[in-house]
Structures are given as structure tokens and as C-alpha cells.
Homo-oligomer: A and B are copies of this chain.
Amino acid sequence: MALIVQKFGGTSVGSVERIEMVAEKVKKFRENGDDIVVVVSAMSGETNRLIALAKQISDQPVPRELDVMVSTGEQVTIALLAMALIKRGVPAVSYTGNQVRILTDSAHTKARILQIDDQKLRADLKAGRVVVVAGFQGVDEHGNITTLGRGGSDTTGVALAAALKADECQIYTDVDGVYTTDPRVVPKARRLEKITFEEMLEMASLGSKVLQIRSVEFAGKYNVPLRVLHSFQEGPGTLITIDEEESMEQPIISGIAFNRDEAKLTIRGVPDNPGVAFKILGPISAANIEVDMIVQNISHDNTTDFTFTVHRNDYLNAMQVLQNTAREIGAREVIGDTDIAKVSIVGVGMRSHAGVASRMFEALAKESINIQMISTSEIKVSVVIEEKYLELAVRALHTAFELDAPARQVE
């Protein structure tokens, strides 16, 4: 008998029919003898509907009041799911964030969980009840309703699992697990049985939008085994956990992430003085533009080139800022490119394997794909290439690192 926290997102509870399906699923776990805490989001579309209503009053609704309003979305879902469970003879009780007491700080619309009171929940579980908790919301020390920001329901699930020392936190989504890469790009992409928290963080932040990054960090910190599963299909999903056994069989890399939302800017002929990086990036950051990759190479003739990537939406804005900077510091020119893509290989296995990067570059060279930028971390190598080669690059790397599914498993 295990204690499992199950989180169902907005799409999984997007209609009464789907809520009934979730109730069926929960019922089966109960019949297996597991103790279940369910965390649910607002029905899909509901949060947006509420925000739109608030925006009719004010472009900048007061955050405290916005939280009072938006938190009603999950409150409706918990009641419906509890009703659906009770209808099936499964004793159940619903709680808002305030009722559980999920204590947060007072940063309305983006609050952080400080503490969870597990007393009520434990008493209910002991009494044989399924506990249905509203995700995404909490209450501050003054009794004000808070929300955790978009995607916060994942965080609620993980935090509850940590507080209850649950055996597993299951995140139900519209995919059946974490894949070696996007199956739409590489038909031979495989579902991973297991992935480490660190790898998942790199995969998630690079565009595999299965889980909210914050919840993965949280799960890693408290060592809560996370499992990603499909809401309405059977299957084991992907377990995200700490890297316990670094076995021989462990693949060198776990997956290939990619991102075509970025644009590249280069400032050339920058006088190579101390503090020049700050002079360049300071104004970009002041303009609220987030920078992803940054590359500066050794200098020639006391000048250097400095390149970085930003989100494509910020490209024009960043270009303007950078041109001003170029004039001020006496740089030669500013050039930019929006037709780029970033491809990354991710895996804890590369820590203990030399030559992973060169194997990557070799595979790309074989396909005559030019590498424009390189950046590496302990468990990741990222390159920027011309966008039109993206699919080709991902497929080549998928094969080169032996990630392709065996032919017989492809359905």
C-alpha cells in the first residue's frame, strides 16, 4: 500500500466527462489499496475566463483581488471531483489551499509555498477518504488567498507529496511520458523509463513543456519521486528521480531538446577592456530582456566579438539597445539573425564519458550542418545552427547517440 499524490491539469479536468474519467482512475488506485491525494487545476479555459473578466475592470487588476477571483477556478474542480468520487462510493473530501492550510508568502499571483499543514489530510487518509486539493493556491499568514502563478498546480502536487512523504507524485498530462526528443520531429523518439531531476530540468527549460520547471526543482530538493503519465491512457510513464545507480548500462545522453524561439545578436569589434560584458548586457537586462546563451571568444587586435541569444519576441528591442551600446563603447558593428535554432544533448552520463561533445559535432558535420555557437554545462551541450537544419540535426543526433527506438517497438 502506497501513498500517492496525483495531479491532474486543466485539460484532464476540462469537462464533466473528463472529471468522471479522473474519478474512475482514482477509484482504481483506491481499490489497489493505495492512499490517494488528488491535486487538480481549474477546468481548462476557466482561469483565462476569470482573468478576462478582471481585465474588463482594470488592465492592472489589484493582485490580491485577482487571486481571490482566479482561485475560484480550482475550487469548482475540487468540488466536482469529490462529488464524482462519492457518487462512485469512494469517500472523498475537497479542500481549498486555505482549508488544507498551504501557507505561502504574500507575493500575490506568484506566491511561494512556505509550509503545509498535513494534519487534516492525514486524518482523512486514515479515515479512508480520498483528499482532493485545489492546486495553484494557498493562503498567507494574514489569511489572504494567494496563487502560485501559472502551472503552480504541479508545485502544489510536489509540495504535498513532500509534506506527506508520499511514495510518488504522479503528474497526469496529455503525453505518456518524457521522450528522448519531440516525436513529431523524430518518429523514432522513445519514451524514457527514467530520467534524473537534473536532466529533466535541462530538458524542460529547453522546450519539452511537460512539467513546470519550478516543480521539478522542488521535487529534486525534497527528493520526491515524480512520474509523468498520460491522463487517459494506461502505461508506466516516465519516472523522474535522483540518479541512484550510475550503472554501466546508463546511456550517455538521455535526450535531445531543441528550441526555435530564439534570435541571435552579435556586437563586433568591441574594444576588449575589463567590464565590457557588463557594459553590453547591463542595458539589455535593464530593458527586461532575458538572455539565454552568451559566447565571447578570445580577442584579436585588442577587439573581440560578443554574441548572445534572446527570445525572438525581444529581438527588435534588443537590437535597438545594442546599437546604442555599440555607439557608446565604440564597437564596429551590430549584426543579428532570427533564423536560428538551438539543439541540446542532455544526460548525466556525459559526466563520466569524454568525447561526448566531439561526437555531437561529428554527427552534425556529417550532415554538413554549420555550428554557429556552442555552450556547455556539466550535463548538457547546446549548439546554435541555422533554423532550416533543425529537424535534420535532431534526427542525426538521435541516431548518433543510439536513442532510436528498436524498429519492432514502433507501432
Complex Cα distance, B19 from A20, in Å, reads 35
* One of B50, B82, B86, B94 near A76 (C-beta < 8 A): B50
Complex Cα distance, B71 from A338, in Å, reads 50
Min CB–CB distance A194 → chain B (angstroms) = 37
Contact present for B86 and A78 (CB under 8 Å): no
Does A280 make an interface contact (CB < 8 A)?
A: no
Min CB–CB distance A87 → chain B (angstroms) = 5
Q: Known contacts A72-B72, A76-B50, A79-B68: does B94 contact A57 (CB below 8 Å)?
A: no
**Residues in A350-405 with C-beta less than 8 Å from chain B:** none
Min CB–CB distance A51 → chain B (angstroms) = 11
Q: Known contacts A50-B76, A75-B68: does B20 contact A57 (CB below 8 Å)?
A: yes
Does A48 make an interface contact (CB < 8 A)?
A: no
Q: Known contacts A80-B69, A86-B65, A94-B65: does B99 contact A57 (CB below 8 Å)?
A: no
* One of B16, B20, B66, B93 near A79 (C-beta < 8 A): B66
Does A62 make an interface contact (CB < 8 A)?
A: yes
**Residues in A45-70 with C-beta less than 8 Å from chain B:** 50, 53-54, 56-58, 61-62, 64-66, 68-69
Complex Cα distance, B54 from A19, in Å, reads 11
Contact present for A57 and B83 (CB under 8 Å): yes
User: Which residues of B lie under 8 Å from residue A64 when comparing CB positions?
Assistant: 93
**Residues in A79-95 with C-beta less than 8 Å from chain B:** 79-80, 82-84, 86-87, 93-94
Q: Known contacts A80-B69, A98-B98: does B86 contact A53 (CB below 8 Å)?
A: no
User: Which residues of B lie under 8 Å from residue A78 when comparing CB positions?
Assistant: 65, 68
Q: How large is the interface on A (under 10, 10 to 19, 20 to 34, 35 or more residues)?
A: 35 or more
* One of B58, B66, B83, B144 near A61 (C-beta < 8 A): B83
Q: Give a binary string over A6-44; 1 marks a CB under 8 Å from any B CB, 0 the rest.
A: 000000000010011000000000000000000000000
Q: Known contacts A58-B87, A72-B75, A75-B72: does B82 contact A65 (CB below 8 Å)?
A: yes
User: Which residues of B lie under 8 Å from residue A98 when comparing CB positions?
Assistant: 98
* One of B58, B66, B94 near A68 (C-beta < 8 A): B94
Complex Cα distance, B84 from A66, in Å, reads 12
Q: Known contacts A62-B82, A86-B62: does B57 contact A76 (CB below 8 Å)?
A: no
User: Which residues of B lie under 8 Å from residue A94 when comparing CB positions?
Assistant: 65, 68
User: Which residues of B lie under 8 Å from residue A153 when comparing CB positions?
Assistant: none
User: Which residues of B lie under 8 Å from residue A93 when comparing CB positions?
Assistant: 64
| A98 to chain B: closest residue by CB | B98
Interface residues of A (CB under 8 A from B): 16, 19-20, 50, 53-54, 56-58, 61-62, 64-66, 68-69, 71-72, 75-76, 78-80, 82-84, 86-87, 93-94, 96, 98-99, 143-145
- Please list 10 pairs of residues, one from A and one from B, whose beta carbons are closer than 8 Å in the complex, sorted by A's number: A16-B57, A53-B76, A57-B83, A58-B87, A62-B82, A64-B93, A65-B80, A66-B83, A69-B79, A96-B145
Q: Which 5 A-B pairs have the closest CB atoms?
A: A72-B72, A69-B79, A68-B79, A65-B79, A16-B56
